[in-house]
Homo-oligomer: A and B are copies of this chain.
Amino acid sequence: MKKQSIYYIEDEPYLGKIVKETLEKEGYEVVWETDGAKVLNRLHHWNPDICVLDIMLPNLDGYTLCREIKKMKPGLPVIFLTAKIETSDLVKGFEAGGNDYMRKPFSIEELMVRIEYHAKSSAAQEEEEKLEDEIQIGKYRLKRGSYELTTPTDLIRLSNRDMEVLDTLARNRNHVTERKELLMKVWGDDSYFNSRTLDVYIRKLRKHFREDTRIEIVTLKGKGYLFRVPELSH
Contacts and interface: CB of A to CB of B under 8 A. Distances in A.
A228 B146 contact: yes
A223 B188 CA distance: 13
Interface stretch (A13-21, A26-34, A36-44, A106-114): A106-114
A48 to B, nearest CB: 20
Contacts of A223: 160
A63 B195 CA distance: 33
Contacts of A160: 220-223
Contact of A147 (B107, B147, B159, B220): B220
A102 to B, nearest CB: 11
Interface in A143-170: 145-147, 157, 159-161
Interface of A: 87, 90-91, 94, 100, 107, 109-110, 113, 116-117, 145-147, 157, 159-161, 174-175, 218, 220-223, 226, 228
Contacts of A94: 113, 116-117
Contacts of A145: 174-175
Nearest to A118: B94
A208 to B, nearest CB: 18
Contacts of A146: 174, 226, 228
Q: Is the interface of A mostly helix, strand, loop or mixed?
A: mixed
Contacts of A218: 147, 157
A131 to B, nearest CB: 12
A100 B102 CA distance: 12
Contacts of A113: 87, 90-91, 94
A157 B226 CA distance: 12
Which of A157, A160, A223 has the most B CB atoms < 10 Å from its CB?
A160
A161 B222 contact: yes
Contacts of A228: 146
Contact of A107 (B87, B91, B157): B87
Nearest to A100: B100
